[in-house]
Structures are given as structure tokens and as C-alpha cells.
Amino acid sequence: MDLEFGKTLDASKKGSWKTASLLAYQSLGVVYGDLSTSPLYVYKSTFAEDIQHSETNEEIYGVLSFVFWTLTLLPLFKYVFVVLRADDNGEGGTFALYSLICRHARVSLLPNRQVADEALSTYKLEHPPEKKSSSRVKMYLEKHKVLHTALLILVLLGTCMVIGDGVLTPAISVFSAVSGLELSMSKEHHQYAVIPITCFILVCLFALQHYGTHRVGFFFAPIVLTWLLCISALGLYNIIHWNPHVYQALSPYYMFKFLKKTRKGGWMSLGGILLCITGSEAMFADLGHFSYAAIQTAFTFLVYPALILAYMGQAAYLSQHHPTSYQISFYVSVPESVRWPVLVVAILASVVGSQAIISGTFSIINQSQSLGCFPRVKVIHTSDKIHGQIYIPEINWVLMILCIAVTIGFRDTKHMGNASGLAVMTVMLVTTCLTSLVIILCWNKPPLVALSFLLFFGSVELLYFSASLTKFTEGAWLPILLALFLMTIMFVWHYATIKKYEFDLHNKVSLEWLLALGPSLGIVRVPGIGLVFTDLTSGIPANFSRFVTNLPAFHRVLVFVCVKSVPVPYVPLAERYLVGRVGPAAHRSYRCIVRYGYRDVHQEVDSFESELIAKLADFIRYDWYRRQQTNPYTDDDASHSNESSSECRLAVIGTVAFSGTPGYEIEESVQPESVSGGFSTVESVTDVIEMEPVGAVQRRVRFAIDDDSESDTRTDMEVHLREELEDLLAAQEAGTAFILGHSHVRAKQGSSVLKRLAINFGYNFLRRNCRGPDVTLKVPPVSLLEVGMVYVV
């Protein structure tokens, strides 16, 4: 047995290494394209204006030293060894850090949170109990509400800069590669050829996006691999042929010597040097597409050495040649005999370089949308096998138009580089700040460790950031303008979403009102199932009371459905549905809370409807069985009248069906236990959730009634169970109606001018021009009932 176990273990290790190697190879085409093409424009941008390449070579050696240590400190030490470990169940990016912080401290501004969400297996708090110092920081953050808003604004700033980088990076990468034609064409012809060729390549790149990351990755990975081998070979050739002692310039001494000689010009030139780390954030943003091991392996053993050799090779060539600043470019260090093949590979690699940030932009917009911080857009999941690979058509075409506009508007590497550099450094600063909080709140390290991390890496990034700001009038204004525009959209959408939820919360009606509806009031129950969609996790929404007021009838089976996002990447199917009764069993009213993570695929409406009904049937069987176990001697439903006046229980209905030959069956596994436990929502409405802390033994109850049962002692409870299931089946056959609110939001009287502009014009414009909830849920028009609602916030 031991021998067999060892063989199995070895096989699994080989399989995991094989998978990691495959993902590392595929990550080259998606994650590292942008980072690997930076040698095309770093030296050209650095020597564009602020410093000159002199005979002493102090400038070129100083720039090489800066490039080496920047690549070593930020992408290698900060990202690969620290930030990538701050993943959210394997997912990365700004919002992953934010959701991680929100799970460990109550700083989230998201509505309809429940304590029950903390029982999710993916809502894990994986580190030891917090220390006193960490607890103090946590309490301070939780106490001051203004810090919650400041944290969200910081996250939105980082998100907007990633999107801005998604506009700038494709433009500068492709433009820099195509600019290599200047060595083979006259200046007049070159001027009119570069822009059209760049725009054509960008259109082709964005047209490929709908094939998905999986296919694009396999198609692009060989190109990046070829490019990395190409620049490594060129670097080695230039080092050996021109200056074998260039490695001495890696010493930090040359950085100080460079700054001492160039002074203000050298500091301003850092805006060009920082372009060597463009694309580093993609390692974290695209983490969900691959794995930590794959990204770490690819960068440490292939990408990093190749980039260092490339920059050393260019420096070695330039140390023996002293062209004017205009003539400094990547291609001057390429031997003329291989210049055309290198140009072709460079153009292809620059196209791939754009893929990294485009994929990251799709990911971060999807996360923003799931957490209520971005208008609803269409998200297409391009891979059934690999979780998290998506394509957003509207964002794709907007990015393409903006990229082409930037290319035509700027027309040179200098302005594009200044704009891209500011966006890159802003994202890195945001990531450093959020990771510092993760170190304290999630990893429970002493605040001194987090402060050291923040001061060390933050000071390096602030140095580059300050240099980028000096280029404001020379292109750096663009990412700031884009960020302000996007942040306005995101903050207005988030603010109005919160206000709408608060309005629903304050205007919900009581359960007694619902139970009082009946024939005496002229209300009739019609055949079928009515699915009333609401953001509330408790109470009766105002849109349903408005519906009944205008149309005095509702369905025989009524289900209040809340589709909510939880600050986790994904929710396991077995834990997705929380189901409970609304009122007594005879009323045939239920509540179903459907929980999705920010990376989850929302179901098609047909499968959602059938699965929801199946979960209701499972809940009905479970609930009657629970009653029988709790009070086996009383068959009358009136014995549970105390449950009729409130919403008593919500049960987690998993994937195990309540069916089988025996009357009931106990299953055990190493999962959360399904027993009663009291929890309260944020609104202090008591729900009872059928869960215990993670780590207990799960007990799922299967219960079925056999049609051919020969039992002579069928209880009244079994009869009630059968009647309820038959009513559900009959209602399903009669048809399902989807009842959704059609909202119009306006600011209340006395609101400030800014609020009226944001709500009355900004939010309503976005709402009218983005996808409605019925389109998002893909509700058939024939089954849709919309209830007009005016929200005064």
C-alpha cells in the first residue's frame, strides 16, 4: 500500500509540475509581453530630452544601473516574492487586495452583507489569531468611516490607472516596434508610414480578443519566447563584441555618480527609466488566469535574465558609440544583417505586449462590476475549463478607439512614455499601500514590518512618481484625465447603488402585510411561480407592494430572489443558495439568496430557473424532515405558528439531492456542518443560517417519499410535504414570471448641486445606456414583469 501511495504521490507531483510548466509557458504570451518589449523604448525615452549621452559614458552606465536595480527591487523582490502571495484564493489585482482587506476588517461599503457570508469556504481567514498591534490598526480603520471611503477611492484610483494603462501600453509598444523602419526608410516616407501601420496592427490586435486568453496565450507564447531568446542573444553579442566590462555598471555606485553629474536633468529622466517595469502589474492582475508558481517560474528563470542581458547589451553598444539623442534607439544596437528579422519579431512581440494589459483591464473591470463599482457590461467567459478568462466586447472596442486616438494624437514615443510611466507608477503605489494593509490585517505581522515594506518600496516608487509628474504638460496629463473621468463614473455608480439599497431598506414592508393579503382584500393567487428580484436579504421589497397595489394578484408560489456579490473570487456551487420560508408553509412563499463571487460565471436564465426550483424542492424536503426530527409527535402545522410571523430559517442547499431509496440518509464528509446557528445581517435582522464554523463534519440529510410505499403509518406531515411539492410542480408547469424593478433615481429636495448633477444626470444617463438587470439575467421578454419605481435619495 505504501509503495502504491508513493507512486500516486510521485505521479501527482509530476502532473502538478507539468501543469505549472504549461501555465508558465502560456503566461509568456499573456502576462510578460508588455514587460519583455520595454527594451524597445526605455533608452530612447530616457535620452529624449533631459540628459545627453556623453563621451565619459557616465550617463549610460548610470541609466543601466538604475534599470537593473529597478527591475530587481520592484518586479522581482516586491511582486514575485511578496505581492503575488497576497492573492485572494488564487486571484490577483487591486480589487482582490480590497476584498481580502474587507474580509479581515469591516471597512467595506458594499450593501446587503450578511454574517452568513463569512461561513463560505472561500471566505477563509487563513492566518493565526491577530496580535494586539494588528487589532489596534483594525479597530482604528473600522471606527473611522471616512477611512472606508478613502480606501475605496484609493482602490478606484488604482483601477482607473490600470484601465488607462490599457489604453497607453498597446499604443507605445506597437509604435516603438514599427518605428524601427526609420533605419531603413527616408525620414519623409517613415513619417507617413509609421502611424497607418501602427493603427492597422492595433485594430487587428483588438479584433483577436474575442478568441479568449486561452487561445491567444498559446498563439502568442511562442512569439514572446522567440523575442526573449532574440534579445538575450543580441545582448550577449553586444556585451562580448563591444564592452565585456559593462557588468561593472550594475553597481549602485553608478546611480549616485549619475545623479551627481546630471542633477535635475537626471531626476527628470527617471520618467523614462521607469518604463523598464511597465507590465509588472500584469503579473498580479492576471494571476487568476494562471498560478503563482507559473508566473514566478517564468519571470525568475526566463524573463528577468533576458531583460538584464538586453539592457546590458544596449549599454555596451552605446558605450562605444555616441550618437545624438534622436538616433538612440533599440535598433541601432542590432547588427544590420539581422535587423529585418528582429524588426518582424519586435512588431509581433509588441502586439503580444499589449495583450497583457488588455487581459488585466478585462479582469479588473469585471471585478469592479461585480462589487457594484462599474456600470453593467457584457462579460463573456472564453474558456469552460480555465476559470477567470473573460472578454468584454464594449470595453474592447472603446480601448481600441482610444489607443488609435493616442497614437494619432501623440505621434512620438516621448509623450506616450510620459503618459504610460505616470499610470504605471500610480498603480504600483496603490498596490504597495494595499499590500501594507494586507500584511497587518491578513497576515497579522507587526505594523513595523508593514511600515518597512511601505517606506522601502514606497520611497522608490515616489521617486519615480515625482519625476513622472514633472512631465504633466508633455503627455502625463492624459492618464490623469482618464482616471478622473473613470473615477467619476465609478464613484457615482457606486454611490447611487448604495443609496438605492438604503431606500429599499427603509421602505420595505412588513411580513404581516404580505400575510394579510387574501381574498378578503380582493387579492387572488394565480397559477405559476413569481420570482421577485430584490437587493434585500430580508423583508418584503417596496416594488412588490407597488406591484400588488396596481395589479391585485400574485402567483401561487412566490420567491423573493436576491442575487448578490460576495467579496470572494468565487462561491462553490454547494454553498451558493441560501433558501428559507417567508411566512408559514401554507403561504407558499420563499426567500432565495444566490451568492456569486466577483469571478463567478452568472448562470443562463433557463438553467438558473430550473436549478432554483430544484433547490426549493430540496429545501421543502429538508424543512419538513427537520420539523419531523424536532417535533416528531406533532403533525399539525399549527405547532410551528411561531415561525409564521417572521423569516425563521435560511438553509444552505448544496448539490446533494434529497432523493434516494431510504426514507432518509446521513452523509458525512470533511466539510462545514449543516446545523442551526444564529446570525444577524448588517441591518440587525435576525436570520438563522444552517451552518457551523468551517472544519466541522458535514451532515446532509436526504429525504424522499416513495410513491409505492407500503407503509401504513403515513403521517399528516408527509401529506403536507407531498402537497407542497405537488403545488411547486404544478406552478412550474404553469410558467414562471420574473418581476423586476424598473428604477428611476432622483436626488431629494434640498440636495447640493453636485449631488443633483451626479444622481439626476450622471447616474440616470449611465443607467439608461448600460445593460439593464433583465438583459444581464437574460430574461425572456414574454416572462418579464417590470415594476416602475422612483427612488428619491
Is there a domain that residue 13 lies in?
A: no
Backbone phi and psi for residue 91, each to the nearest 5 degrees, phi listed first: -100, 150
pLDDT tens-place string over residues 69-83: 999 999 999 999 999
Is there a domain that residue 411 lies in?
A: yes
What is the Cα 644 distance to its own chain's centre? 41
Considering the domain architecture, whether residues 597 and 450 belong to the same structural domain is answered as no
Three-state DSSP state, 465 = helix
- The amino acid sitting at 331 is Y
701 pLDDT more than 70: no
Q: Which secondary structure element, helix H or strand E, spans residue 505, and what is its range?
A: helix 477-506
Q: How many domains does the chain have?
A: 2
Q: 213-242 vs 339-370: helix axis angle to the nearest 10?
A: 140
Of 434, 456, 489, the domain-final residue: 489
| pLDDT, position 757 | 93
Considering the domain architecture, whether residues 302 and 382 belong to the same structural domain is answered as yes
Confidence of residue 378 (pLDDT cuts 50, 70, 90): confident
Confidence of residue 384 (pLDDT cuts 50, 70, 90): low
Mean pLDDT of 12-24: 68
From the number of C-beta atoms within 10 Å of its C-beta (0-12, 13-18, 19+), residue 467 rates as buried
d(CA 653, CA 591): 12
| pLDDT, position 190 | 63
From the number of C-beta atoms within 10 Å of its C-beta (0-12, 13-18, 19+), residue 78 rates as buried
Is there a domain that residue 661 lies in?
A: no
> Are the C-beta atoms of 168 and 423 separated by less than 8 Å?
yes
690 pLDDT more than 90: no
Mean pLDDT of 438-443: 91
- The DSSP 8-state label assigned to residue 668 in this structure reads E
pLDDT tens-place string over residues 624-679: 888 777 665 444 444 444 444 445 567 888 654 444 333 333 233 333 333 333 33
Mean pLDDT of 448-456: 95
Mean pLDDT of 265-283: 89
> Are the C-beta atoms of 108 and 598 separated by less than 8 Å?
no
Which CATH number goes with the domain that contains 262?
1.20.1740.10
Considering the domain architecture, whether residues 213 and 247 belong to the same structural domain is answered as yes
- E strands in 384-535: 390-391, 524-533
| pLDDT, position 584 | 87
| pLDDT, position 709 | 45
498 pLDDT more than 80: yes
Three-state DSSP state, 245 = coil
Considering the domain architecture, whether residues 552 and 452 belong to the same structural domain is answered as no
List the one residue out of 311, 298, 301, 180 whose CA is nearest residue 236. Answer: 311
d(CA 772, CA 788): 13
374 pLDDT more than 50: yes
What are the residues whose beta carbons fall under 8 Å from the beta carbon of 357, sequence distance 6 or more?
34, 162, 165, 166, 169, 170, 279, 282
Considering the domain architecture, whether residues 439 and 569 belong to the same structural domain is answered as no
- The DSSP bridge partners found for residue 564 are 595
pLDDT tens-place string over residues 397-437: 999 999 999 999 998 888 999 999 999 999 999 999 999 99
Percent of the chain with pLDDT over 70: 82
Q: For the chain, give the number of residues.
A: 793
From the number of C-beta atoms within 10 Å of its C-beta (0-12, 13-18, 19+), residue 337 rates as exposed
Considering the domain architecture, whether residues 446 and 516 belong to the same structural domain is answered as no
4 pLDDT more than 50: no
The count of C-alpha atoms lying within 13 angstroms of the C-alpha of 286, restricted to the half-sphere facing its C-beta, is: 31
15 pLDDT more than 90: no
21 pLDDT more than 90: no
Lowest-confidence region among 85-89, 118-122, 590-594: 118-122
| pLDDT, position 697 | 35
Considering the domain architecture, whether residues 534 and 472 belong to the same structural domain is answered as no
Confidence of residue 241 (pLDDT cuts 50, 70, 90): very high
Is there a domain that residue 499 lies in?
A: no
- The amino acid sitting at 285 is A
Its domain, for residue 370, covers: 24-127+136-489
Confidence of residue 26 (pLDDT cuts 50, 70, 90): confident
Of 455, 489, 523, the domain-final residue: 489
352 pLDDT more than 70: yes
Lowest-confidence region among 100-104, 117-121, 684-688: 684-688
pTM, rounded to two decimals: 0.83
Confidence of residue 688 (pLDDT cuts 50, 70, 90): very low
Considering the domain architecture, whether residues 458 and 565 belong to the same structural domain is answered as no
| pLDDT, position 674 | 31
d(CA 771, CA 765): 12
Of 458, 489, 520, the domain-final residue: 489
Mean pLDDT of 483-502: 92
Is there a domain that residue 351 lies in?
A: yes
210 pLDDT more than 50: yes
Confidence of residue 185 (pLDDT cuts 50, 70, 90): low
Considering the domain architecture, whether residues 575 and 612 belong to the same structural domain is answered as yes
Is there a domain that residue 648 lies in?
A: no
Is there a domain that residue 670 lies in?
A: no
d(CA 574, CA 671): 11
DSSP 389-400: -EE-HHHHHHHH
Considering the domain architecture, whether residues 462 and 322 belong to the same structural domain is answered as yes
Percent of the chain with pLDDT over 90: 37
pLDDT tens-place string over residues 143-178: 888 999 999 999 999 999 989 988 998 998 899 888
On average, the pLDDT of the chain sits at: 81
Is there a domain that residue 689 lies in?
A: no
The count of C-alpha atoms lying within 13 angstroms of the C-alpha of 55, restricted to the half-sphere facing its C-beta, is: 0
> Are the C-beta atoms of 104 and 137 separated by less than 8 Å?
no
Q: Where is mean pLDDT largest: 186-190, 218-222, 737-741?
A: 737-741
Considering the domain architecture, whether residues 153 and 207 belong to the same structural domain is answered as yes
Mean pLDDT of 85-107: 86
| pLDDT, position 221 | 86
| pLDDT, position 96 | 85
Considering the domain architecture, whether residues 216 and 314 belong to the same structural domain is answered as yes
What the block records as the C-alpha cell of 155 is 482602490
